[in-house]
Amino acid sequence: MSTRLAVISLAALALAAGTADAGFTPAWSYVPTTLRAQLASRAGGTLYLPSRVALGYRYRSGAKVVNGVLTVPFTQRVRVRQGVYKWTGKTILWHTQKLPAGTACETWAPKTKTLQLSGNKVYLSDTGVAWRCVTDRTGRQLVLSSTDATAVTSALDVSRRSNAPTVALSVSPARVARGHTVLVRGVAGGCTSGDAVTLLSHAFPAAHSFAGVPAAYAQVGSAGRFSTHVTIPKTRAPGSYTVTARCGGGNLGLLVHLTVV
């Protein structure tokens, strides 16, 4: 995938914020639970896999850990007719490996571009590889890389995740006067503790935004829980507004309503 296509993939991910009520199936959940456990054990106790990959791609087979490098292929599946699909020869490769000692993440590979999305700094090379770095819960610095920049942006540790992560979202009070504050809270199942949840609503202040929608942020705590207070601008027009949330590069799939008076 070229750098230009990688940037397009990131732009498409940003546009997906407008469909937060649609939900999505995390890409990592297509890797069987027993296989995930085996891979996590071989990879040193953690397993970083993407929540999202390019449209139509999912895991089929071929995941392995060799010399400490995790490789997981995601293969394109196309629809032939309703209920019938076929696999193609197109594959996105996912890699997780230890960052070499004394190496800065930025210089892990020749860099041509740096992008910032949902709090993640992603580097792009002219060979089509995208990467970012994380510190896992054992203190190791890891490089997450792929030929799909969207995958790199949405990656998280899924070694302890179930296939049906719990999600929840609420706003209180649901009816608020302009200039007053609401509490937005919920559960971001599938997102790692310390990640940031992006809360989106046209009722919120415009100091921060995501894909053109005013945004607020909350940190994920234990069991995926998050909460934050948001003050509604005094100039916000009265009316009914939606509130959605995203984490790990994907929408939580929930939508709640807030009435401003």
Mean pLDDT along residues 161-181: 84
Mean pLDDT along residues 12-41: 65
109-160: pLDDT as tens digits: 999 998 876 667 899 998 889 999 999 888 999 999 999 888 898 888 988 7
Least confident piece of the model among 172-186, 195-209, 247-261: 247-261
**b (16+ CB within 10 A) / e for 182-197:** bebbbbbbbbbeebbb
Class of the CATH domain delimited by 167-260 = mainly beta
Residue, of 2 and 252, whose pLDDT is higher: 252
Indicate if the pLDDT at residue 203 is higher than 80: yes
Q: How far is CA 33 from CA 47, 166, 215, 231, in A?
A: 12, 16, 34, 42
Distance in angstroms (rounded) separating the CA atoms of residues 53 and 14: 13
53-108: pLDDT as tens digits: 888 899 999 999 999 999 999 999 988 876 688 999 999 999 999 999 999 999 99
Indicate if the pLDDT at residue 241 is higher than 90: yes
Phi, psi of 247 (to 5 degrees): -160, 150
At residue 165, the pLDDT reads 57
Q: How far is CA 179 from CA 156, 161, 238, 242, 243, in A?
A: 36, 39, 11, 18, 17
Indicate if the pLDDT at residue 20 is higher than 90: no
**Listed residue (66, 28, 77) closest to 50, CA to CA:** 28
At residue 21, the pLDDT reads 33
Which residue ranges does the chain devote to CATH 2.60.40.10?
167-260
At residue 146, the pLDDT reads 95
